[in-house]
Structure 1
Amino acid sequence: MSFGPPPSVFTQSALAADRTARKRRRTKLLGALAALVVVGLCAGGWLLSSAGDDSASADGKTAPVVQSPDDIRETIEKAPGSPEGQLVIEHNEENLSKSTETNPRYAPGTWATDKIFARGVADRIEGYRIKPTYDETAWTLKLGGHLCATSRHVTADGRTAVVVQPPKAEGAETEGVCDQVVFVDLNTGKKLWQKKMPSAQFAYVTNTNLTLTKGVVAVAWGRGSVAYDMKDGKQLWNSTTVSKCEDKGFAGGRALLALVSCGEATDATYKVQRLEPRTGKPQWTYKVASGVQAVYLPSSDPPVLAVAAGDSAVTDLISLDDHGEHLATMSLSGYDAKCGDRYYSSPYFGVTENCDGMVVGRNQAYVMSKENIANDQPSDWIVAFDLKTGTTQGKFDGRWMQMVHPLRTSGDELLIYRRGAGTLAPAAVVSWNPRTDKETPYLFFQLPDDDEYELSDPEQTDIVFEKGRIFFGARALVRDDDAPKDPVLSAIGVGSAGLKH
């Protein structure tokens, strides 16, 4: 199988590929704090009244689990004392005078800890201190090359990994190769270790996938794969031999799944393997039916596959048991799992785990519907599928002009972002219990009008909820043509006005 070296991700030709021209208009966020407070106060009673009775005791909430530092973080949130939102992050990117629609400054990777909100931007990672109405860069880690792959996973003590493309002379044989793994402490900005991936001459931004599982960082790029010990960066195993079957990507978290492709790209077949993270040895193998065009792995434990059967868009979910045996197939006709939909459907910065229109919990998969444009009806909804039977077990409706997006689970509940509707209604984060159908408000706030559409679109923006705060980080930064020298809004965060920071 031959990929052939694509253009560097930052050349004009690569950036222009598969892109739909879209006018973006960004402005600095002026007076937003006042808007948050005013709109929040006006809408607070409305949101609280819609949350239902809070007296139920048998709601099935999961108690927090003590995690070791190397575990992949699973935060269980608590409803804040006040759902009234206040700004805790507002960061603008400087010097974008040469940034255009066909040549944006990419910002892959968005993470948050107790005190730090961190973003990958081009060839660096920056950490911003979380403080109301105050923009302070706590640290900057220069990577010595552009980012090639990131992961949403963070360890319980606030570490993550990225893959970097070291600079090479134009026309060099290894130009555009992504062969450096960097492990980072997000709280301090300290580089913990950096390793060169073995035999990675065919690893590019278009095919490199990175993940984390307990104590292990794993990377795959089609022609090879490698795993490292989080503690010291020691290589645990690698697979770089020429074979008819290749590791395309991994899914991490509670376990480690490998997506394996066999045969040529035009008629490849797929299989999914659960691996022992420290040895790379398969524990079971599930063979995907022939005719599937693409496979994504939104969850490793429970193991869930999102497959595109006969089309490039995801058509079905497949759930497996702990032994890799088929449990259920769920048709996604009418749903929008948003797998591989980032960067205008270009496979940049890792796609294996990224399905931004769905979330997988312990027993259920939550998938958003396609947009409904009918007047006076919910703009979309989220449906809970039982992973054992494939049947639907609950539905959370959006509102007219207010689409809803699943963010992540918090114990046995689902955290949901509900878009705002201008001056008619604020944006909100709510927690939904699918067993009781109870909705609990966490935050309500107003996003800046000029940026609301893009910030609320999970295909264009990382939306992260952590420790009672929601963060929005645009993945591609483009100058305002009307004011090309002005700073560009890169990220904002909102926390509870009743939460100490």
Structure 2
Amino acid sequence: MTQPPPPPNQPPQQGGFGPPQDQPPQQPGQPPAAAPAPQAPQDTPPAPQTPPDLQKASQPGYGYPQQAPQTPPPPPGYGYPQGPPAPQAGQTPPPGYGYPGQQPNPYAQPNAYGQPNAYGQQPTAYGQPGYGYPGQPTMPMQPQAGPPGSGGGKSNTSLVIIVSALVAIALIAAGGFWYASSSGDDGKNKKHETASSSGGTAGTGGANGGTTGGKENVPADTASKLLFQVPLPKANDTVVTSGSWLTDKVYAKTGIAEIVGYDPDKGSKLWTIKLAGPVCAVTDHVTEDDRTAIVYQPKMPAKSSSAGCTQVAAIDLAAGKKLWSKPVNSGDYPINFENVTVAQHTVAVGSTNGGAAFDIDSGKPLWKPKQTDSCYDAGYGGGAKLVALRKCGEYDNRQLHVQNIDPKSGKVISEYKMSAGIEYASIVSTDPLVVAADVGDSAGDGSGISDYFSIDNKTGKLRTRISAPGDSYGGRCDGISRIEFCKQIVVGNDKLYVPTEEHDGTGDYSKTNEIVAFDLGTGKQTGQRADAGDGYTISPLRMDGGNLIAYKRPPYDKGGQIVSIAGGSFKETKLLQNPATEKERDAETSMLPDYAEIRYSEGHLYMSAVFAHKSDSTYGKEYLVVAFGAGG
């Protein structure tokens, strides 16, 4: 694929933090120069001389044939309607109808010269936007139906790949990048829970299919109704709106240069926190007293310029106020932070200039960027524990150190060193500690994941490595800068829960998939599998004690579902059934699980967009938030 010209060179930060600034950054999609080739699957332990995190683990099947070619990844949803109009009575739905990826993203405007847009956004130094931003995935055309008796085109599908134009979304300003982070789960079981696509709590599944610790009860009436919708805010260009939190009393959502708290049932505004500039990065983690953290710009950016992502702030979701806000300087210049997380009562932020931490209540600095032998804290994973991803070495010969650290002092408790050649990794969960990486750029699907690494938090030793080929398993991470950003991956019960890739269902043109579980001690599949059902695709959301909460994206003529999956038996229990009427269905299916933020608790489902953009009436009314509630 031809890459657009790189953005102009940016001035380095003053102060000497981070790696040398004159090194050309590596382009994603190109394997690291020093990375060893992935090894073939092995049934016996690998030779001692091969580093364990570069050994290719065996690839167990997950319950269906893999001979059929895989459909390329869909275009990003981020709150935009993706499906065509519903078929008229008596018409046969077109091939693949009701699934993402059927029309080009109308908002992905090419920028052949890499120039920034009105919000100061421009392509990243790596040559393309990070995962989850418009214009990145490839776009499949609809498959052609095969002749009678051929299975509706299942074996004779012809796909033509249209490479979407890269859109200038990431922000580069004085060596910093603009990304929006969304991962992790602190595992709180509250009336309304801050749910997440990754980093679930380590609940325990009961014996013989029982569960323990689950707080989600089946509503008296699982049929839901549309509670409220929040229109997409007006913008002159594409701007990040990542960030949504659900507590006992409020559903909070990021807008443009603001965070708004809504009544969970009515959708009326309870409070608004005005910010000087747009939000750059967020975390899903929330303290037990409903406090979280963000990174935002100190002012609204002007056209072709950027204000930088320099302000770190703590937000009180219960009171609806900003507790404190401050920058961190490197010499005379503020550092642009690319990611943020919360662990216990510590706010930690990371960047290519190193990491810093603050007390979430007072804003007291706990540590500032520290550099030793060209090493720096690129980012952190939060929740029950605080884990740093420390990068050492040059761009094309990086070594990643995964460090379990004390949240108050930053002191290293344990450390696992990944083999040289693994340039990027993501922290999926901190307790148990699980890291995802694309080893040797072998995933091949842009997911950022070829393997998971289960690490002992106390000793820093590798427990096991789990191979997850991109053509077999779903889930995505962006380890380039958003260290904690993973979607549709959950850790709990000392297991890793991941979706399989979509495959043909039993009906004509239908698709489906499953959720499977891997043991984090052995690396083997447990044999547990939750089927989405014909026409549905299932995505894990979070843990509920020993149970797994999942969302089922529906076919074209039905509403979606929320289900609870028992930790022991994997029995599915329906918690919520969304309406199949056209208005509600169109609103729901505009939010793709790969990109939209999905929160569920006690019969309440909230789906929200992670981008706002210049409106275009051609594509109908668009929403920032769509909320459903049981008892419809």
Please, what TM-score do these two structures have when normalized by structure 2? Answer: 0.64
1:328 pairs with 2:468: no
Cross-structure match for 1:420: 554
CA displacement 1:388-422 (0-9 Å, x = unmatched): 11111111111222100000010111001001223
Q: Hey, what's the Cα distance between the residues in 2 that align with 1:383 and 1:314?
A: 16
CA displacement 1:433-460 (0-9 Å, x = unmatched): 14212111111103734444431x2332
Q: CA deviation at 1:156?
A: 2.0
Q: Which moved more, 1:377-386 or 1:319-328?
A: 377-386
Cross-structure match for 2:52: none
Q: Hey, what's the Cα distance between the residues in 2 that align with 1:3 and 1:81?
A: 60
Q: Hey, what's the Cα distance between the residues in 1 that align with 2:220 and 2:287?
A: 27
Q: Contact (CA 8 Å) 1:477, 1:488: kept in 2 or not?
A: no
Change over 3 Å in CA distance of 1:9–1:114 after alignment to 2 = farther
Aligned to 1:319, which of 439, 454, 467? 454
User: What aligned pairs does 1:451-470 form with structure 2 within 5 A after superposition?
Assistant: 451-455=587-591, 457-470=592-605
CA displacement 1:101-120 (0-9 Å, x = unmatched): xx323211011112211111
Aligned to 1:272, which of 388, 402, 406? 402
SS of equivalent residue, structure 2 residue 219: coil
1:310 pairs with 2:440: yes
1:481 pairs with 2:613: no
1:194 pairs with 2:303: no
Cross-structure match for 2:413: 283
Aligned to 1:436, which of 533, 552, 569? 569
1:371 pairs with 2:371: no
Aligned to 2:578, which of 445, 469, 474? 445
Q: Hey, what's the Cα distance between the residues in 2 that align with 1:220 and 1:90?
A: 34
Change over 3 Å in CA distance of 1:453–1:171 after alignment to 2 = closer
Q: CA deviation at 1:234?
A: 0.9
Q: CA deviation at 1:17?
A: 5.1
The letter for the 2-side match of 1:331 is S
Q: Contact (CA 8 Å) 2:251, 2:264: kept in 1 or not?
A: yes
Q: Hey, what's the Cα distance between the residues in 2 that align with 1:339 and 1:390?
A: 19
Instruction: Say which one has the larger Rg.
Output: 2
CA displacement 1:259-281 (0-9 Å, x = unmatched): 01111223312110000110001
Q: Hey, what's the Cα distance between the residues in 1 that align with 2:316 and 2:226?
A: 25
Cross-structure match for 1:409: 543
Change over 3 Å in CA distance of 1:86–1:452 after alignment to 2 = closer
Q: CA deviation at 1:379?
A: 1.3
Change over 3 Å in CA distance of 1:283–1:12 after alignment to 2 = closer
Q: Hey, what's the Cα distance between the residues in 1 that align with 2:272 and 2:402?
A: 38
Q: Which moved more, 1:137-146 or 1:251-260?
A: 137-146
Please, what TM-score do these two structures have when normalized by structure 1? Answer: 0.79
Q: How many positions carry a matched residue from both structures?
A: 434
Cross-structure match for 1:90: 229
User: What aligned pairs does 1:39-118 form with structure 2 within 5 A after superposition?
Assistant: 59-63=209-213, 76-96=215-235, 98=236, 103-118=237-252
1:128 pairs with 2:286: no
Aligned to 1:340, which of 475, 478, 501? 478
SS of equivalent residue, structure 1 residue 223: coil
Aligned to 1:296, which of 406, 423, 426? 426
How big is the alpha-carbon RMSD for the aligned residues of Structure 1 and Structure 2? 3.0
Q: Contact (CA 8 Å) 2:208, 2:569: kept in 1 or not?
A: no
Q: CA deviation at 1:82?
A: 2.3
1:160 pairs with 2:292: yes
Q: Contact (CA 8 Å) 1:117, 1:128: kept in 2 or not?
A: yes
Q: Hey, what's the Cα distance between the residues in 1 that align with 2:366 and 2:567?
A: 41
Q: Hey, what's the Cα distance between the residues in 2 that align with 1:170 and 1:92?
A: 24
Aligned to 1:210, which of 325, 340, 349? 340
Cross-structure match for 1:32: none
Aligned to 1:397, which of 531, 555, 562? 531
Q: Contact (CA 8 Å) 1:478, 1:488: kept in 2 or not?
A: no
SS of equivalent residue, structure 2 residue 629: strand
Q: Which runs of no fewer than 5 residues in structure 2 stay unpaired?
A: 1-18, 26-114, 136-163, 166-205
Identity %: 30
Q: Contact (CA 8 Å) 1:316, 1:332: kept in 2 or not?
A: yes
Change over 3 Å in CA distance of 1:144–1:306 after alignment to 2 = same
1:234 pairs with 2:369: no
Q: Contact (CA 8 Å) 1:302, 1:362: kept in 2 or not?
A: no
Q: Which moved more, 1:238-247 or 1:2-11?
A: 2-11
SS of equivalent residue, structure 1 residue 253: coil
Q: Hey, what's the Cα distance between the residues in 1 that align with 2:478 and 2:590?
A: 17
The letter for the 2-side match of 1:86 is K
Change over 3 Å in CA distance of 1:243–1:125 after alignment to 2 = farther
Q: CA deviation at 1:171?
A: 10
Q: Contact (CA 8 Å) 2:213, 2:546: kept in 1 or not?
A: no
Q: CA deviation at 1:158?
A: 1.6
Q: Hey, what's the Cα distance between the residues in 1 that align with 2:566 and 2:300?
A: 51
Q: Hey, what's the Cα distance between the residues in 1 that align with 2:207 and 2:540?
A: 25
1:10 pairs with 2:160: no
Q: CA deviation at 1:353?
A: 1.5
SS of equivalent residue, structure 1 residue 259: strand
Cross-structure match for 2:146: none
1:139 pairs with 2:274: no
Q: Hey, what's the Cα distance between the residues in 2 that align with 1:58 and 1:198?
A: 56
Cross-structure match for 2:624: 490
Q: Contact (CA 8 Å) 1:395, 1:434: kept in 2 or not?
A: no
Q: Hey, what's the Cα distance between the residues in 1 that align with 2:485 and 2:216?
A: 22
SS of equivalent residue, structure 1 residue 289: coil
Q: Hey, what's the Cα distance between the residues in 2 that align with 1:275 and 1:462?
A: 29
SS of equivalent residue, structure 2 residue 396: helix
Q: Hey, what's the Cα distance between the residues in 2 that align with 1:144 and 1:176?
A: 10
The letter for the 1-side match of 2:605 is I
Change over 3 Å in CA distance of 1:331–1:389 after alignment to 2 = same
Q: CA deviation at 1:77?
A: 2.5
Q: Contact (CA 8 Å) 1:111, 1:117: kept in 2 or not?
A: yes
